[in-house]
Chains A and B, each alone.
Chain A
Amino acid sequence: MIWDADDIARAMRRIAHQILETNRGTHHLVLLGIPSRGAPLAHRLAALIADAEGVEVPVGELDITMYRDDLRRHPTRPVGRTRVPVSLDGATVVLVDDVLYSGRTIAAAMDALKDLGRPRAVRLAVLIDRGHHELPIQADHVGKDLPTASDEHVRVRIAEIDGSDAVTLSSAKGA
């Protein structure tokens, strides 16, 4: 195990504060979690921001399944929810996901955003950045940089989905 629940909570608090600093408050801020585990993380960030600032920032979900560049390489994938609570025109959108790896999910998310509106800025917050990016994409807010080998497997558990919070690393052989 890399991180336990406390580690995750500390990282989330740090990311929430970074978002507020970068944005200089909550003005025009919209949090969009990428299903499945990005969605509860976005809601947690919104709660942390509400604690800190007393402002409820809009939180939504942005499913990117239909925008994936590998859609045709797999059997038909189930599609998650997309819920955008407010207009994104002129907003600062913070995309929230659990792990940044190849960057292809985020590239798909940027495509999906284009069909939903025209944000003033788009930022990316991830709990774990494990490297091996394949596209020119960097996270603005990172819980932990975790250098990994490509045959290792990073698993993020989120209480809302998995019953408890944890980050684990396993090798493909041991898994």
Chain B
Amino acid sequence: MSAHVISGARLADGSTTDLAIVDGRFVEVADAPADAERIDADGLLALPGLVDLHTHLREPGREDAETVASGTRAAARGGYTAVFAMPNLTPDTDTAEAAQYVAELGRRDGTCEVVPIGAVTKGRAGTELAELGLMARQGVRVFSDDGACVHDSLLMRRALTYLKPFDGVVAQHAQDPRLAGPGACCHESEISGRLGLPGWPSVAESTVIARDVQLAEFTGGRYHACHISTAESVEVIRWAKARGIHVTAEVTPHHLLLDTPHVETYDTTFKVNPPLRTSEHIEALREALADGTIDVVGTDHAPHAVQDKDHPFDVALPGMLGLEQALAVVMEVMVGSGRMDWPTLVERMAVAPARIGRLAHQGRPLAVGEPANLVLVDPERRAMVDREQTASLSRNNPYHGRELPDPVELTVWAGRVTYRR
């Protein structure tokens, strides 16, 4: 039985308060036991624990790159108290049993809550629906073939329709496999042309989303666009929301900060799918995140072992780490620049992800009676990112050597301190 009293913390709305935690819930300070641990939060912000709708934990299958234990420790270091685990594992999370196993690993090894995402199609092969209903009965609410696109229009229609009684959401990795084939690895632009890298055009994303949102309207299903990276996608989402379609959208920290020229030295750390885009796309994404067209920041934390990155650019595996620097990046590009206030950050990084994933006890206000999930943030502290200073088993950190905010002081998940600086 643990108890904490956090004194002098500022909340996202600017008010200052003391917070008491007993048995995993916020209680009145007066009700805290005398021997409760006292935490001085003077000058710090207290925010709800962050929720990541898009994490790759690599276990089961590639435990050399990440495990549930290491990945959730990284999450806690980044201020997260829940992560949704993408199903591209070995085996894929495409059955109720596989989903149950991931959830169990989370309960056993997790330093935060681990919520399995189920595959939309068997083996994420894009041809037959996976057992969506059986997974849903295990509590799965988010379904995605992430890493692969559900490109068959009919399958997308069926998935959207079939999931309606389960309140499930299809989280689409939007990539037209003909416009951006398996070799596509660089934003199609002057840079891809110069580097001779196969182009991944922005429209290969937005045309899929355009089709999908119309299917979502037609079926009344719930649709989430993962890691959108282009100005065209933003326009499509904006249009869909204006029509009242049940659509949400996500952006990664790296697509908010890093641009295409990072790949000019063929450094595979910067190979990611979808690829890093140019500044006009980055600007559109920032604007959309600020105005709510984009609902959430999802990390797409994608650990990779060194041997999977030490290849030619078009062969190396795509993906980069994200959990530990996501908050820092959003603070840097959105809050620090004045484009977004703290309540909006909380909405995009905790409240909305929990709502889309139907995770009722996460992303809650820091109020008496609520589950005690929170992160204490030093808004002023900055540091040089060092890829060796990580809980992840991998080192593909695109922010290595870059000065960023270094905010996370303390993370509490269900009343338990999961990270302390």
User: Is A in direct contact with B (CB under 8 Å) within the complex?
Assistant: no
* Residues of B participating in the A interface, judged by any CB pair closer than 8 Å: none
